[in-house]
Amino acid sequence: MDLNELQALRIKELSELAQSLNVNGVISGLNKQELIVKILEAQAEKVGAVFARGVLEVMQDGYGFLRSPDFNYMPGPDDIYVSPSQIKRFGLKTGHQISGQIRPPKAKERFYALLKVEMINEEPPEKIKECILFENFTPLYPDKKFVLETDEKNLSMRIMDLMCPIGMGQRGLIVAQPKTGKTILLQKLANAIGKNHPKTKRIVLLIDERPEEVTDMKRNVDAEVVSSTFDEPPERHVSVSDMVLQKAKRMVEYGNDVVIMLDSITRLGRAHNAVIPHSGKILSGGVDFNALKKPKQFLGAARNTEEGGSLTIIATALIDTGSRADEVIFEEFKGTGNMELVLDRRLSDRRIFPAFDIIKSGTRKEELLLSRKQLGRMWILRKLLNAMKVEEAIQFMLDRIKRTKTNDEFLDTMSQ
């Protein structure tokens, strides 16, 4: 049993485990961390080695800590100390996933310590020498399509697959008014990618969200869910998002295709605006001129690479919230993505779902993602839909797509 498994157990289960291992001393009255230390000490005496894993955060002084995804990569008493010599030896960076042998803290020590690095990003440590730094990758337009179509009843994914195709390395914005179904859409999107592309690494990042929405997302999505709820300080929002981005970059360096679904880029911008030292250059809405530099770097990290992996970022952007700051933040990000999906409140008020404004939505360079036949049919369909009103266009799509079982069948019926 490793440290991560122990952290997932309850106090009662830990107490029973401690008794079965014949832990020395009194265990009643110990808190969870103290109980885990006692168990690890007993296990080390019997077995000789204790294993743990976590995501590395390198501090300014050269040492680092392994943070746990169970606690959203935030500092905690169960973090594992990594020495500067280990970091230099392997060339470790923030975001690397480390697995290895650890030991319990000695006298006057506060943290567990990493003894030996066994794996880096689920690969032997030697492979890190072959990795190219993320910033040195050559960015390209996405040319491999994510298939979002799962079954005939999942209409939102079928329509999105046609009107807003997503490629590996896409930088997408879901522009949403309140109560238009963006959270449900993100869940369906994450599950569709997981079902059709199980080898992709998927992370759902929730910033400044309600706690119950975090629980709902964890229960309904086949992906890692990382969150910082609205009752947390802005500094936590910023640090959580930084850790997720660094972890994603390290995975891309190892040749993985990574997808981050961020809800929302607007609230991340608000958090940076609250944290950054003010420059004196204030935009309307109280947004500092430099506040959106880091959120732009986050969104700008999305890319398809010539050398290997890809980083796809699909972020929601809030509009019509009544906040002038939100409008300014959206205007700064408008046009930075290469895919945009617009949700319309008028449609959701009429209980029309998905509430897509398919006239305003689309993907740049979609010819790289669709076949020549699909592209020709989509151009004809676009001409037809552009002559309609928003409500008529989505209703037309829903009525026609319901009659067919697959998107290919739908496109074939267009010629009839």
Q: Are residues 146 and 125 in the same domain?
A: no
* Domain count of the fold of the chain: 3
DSSP, residue by residue, 163-220 = HS-EETT-EEEEEE-TTSSHHHHHHHHHHHHHHH-TTSEEEEEEEEE-HHHHHHHHHH
> Which of 182-186, 244-248, 285-289, 392-396 has the weakest average pLDDT?
285-289
Q: Are residues 64 and 5 in the same domain?
A: no
Q: Are residues 243 and 155 in the same domain?
A: yes
Query: How much is the pLDDT for 381?
Result: 92
DSSP, residue by residue, 258-275 = EEEEEE-HHHHHHHHHHH
Q: Are residues 7 and 77 in the same domain?
A: no
Q: Does the pLDDT of residue 138 top 90, yes or no?
A: yes
123 pairs with which residues across the strands?
Answer: 120
Query: How much is the pLDDT for 281?
Result: 85
Mean pLDDT value across residues 34-43: 74
Q: Does the pLDDT of residue 26 top 70, yes or no?
A: no
- On whether the CB atoms of residues 167 and 369 are closer than 8 A, the answer is yes
- CA–CA–CA angle 213, 216, 221 (5° rounding): 120
pLDDT in tens, 263-282: 989 999 999 999 998 888 88
Query: How much is the pLDDT for 48?
Result: 62
**Helix extents (H) in 290-406:** 293-300, 324-333, 345-349, 372-386, 390-402
Confidence of residue 137 (pLDDT cuts 50, 70, 90): very high
> What global pTM score does this model have?
0.88
CATH number at residue 314: 3.40.50.300
pLDDT in tens, 304-330: 999 879 999 999 999 988 889 889 999
Query: How much is the pLDDT for 340?
Result: 95
**Rounded Cα gap, residues 161 and 370, in angstroms:** 10
Q: Are residues 100 and 34 in the same domain?
A: no
Query: How much is the pLDDT for 27?
Result: 64
Mean pLDDT value across residues 106-121: 88
Range of the domain at 62: 49-130
269 pairs with which residues across the strands?
Answer: none
Mean pLDDT value across residues 228-251: 96
Q: Are residues 185 and 318 in the same domain?
A: yes
**Rounded Cα gap, residues 173 and 361, in angstroms:** 10
Q: Are residues 332 and 197 in the same domain?
A: yes
**If you average pLDDT over every residue of the chain, what do you get?**
90
Q: Are residues 257 and 389 in the same domain?
A: yes
CATH number at residue 103: 2.40.50.140
**Rounded Cα gap, residues 193 and 199, in angstroms:** 10
Q: Which two tokens stand for residue 146?
A: 């994510």
Q: Are residues 110 and 204 in the same domain?
A: no
Q: Are residues 86 and 227 in the same domain?
A: no
- On whether the CB atoms of residues 291 and 279 are closer than 8 A, the answer is no
**Rounded Cα gap, residues 17 and 77, in angstroms:** 21
The bridge status of strand 166-167 relative to strand 171-176 is unpaired
**Rounded Cα gap, residues 400 and 385, in angstroms:** 12
Residue at which a domain ends, from 81, 108, 130: 130
Q: Are residues 144 and 125 in the same domain?
A: no
Confidence of residue 1 (pLDDT cuts 50, 70, 90): low
List the one residue out of 293, 245, 289, 237 whose CA is nearest residue 268: 237
Q: Are residues 178 and 283 in the same domain?
A: yes
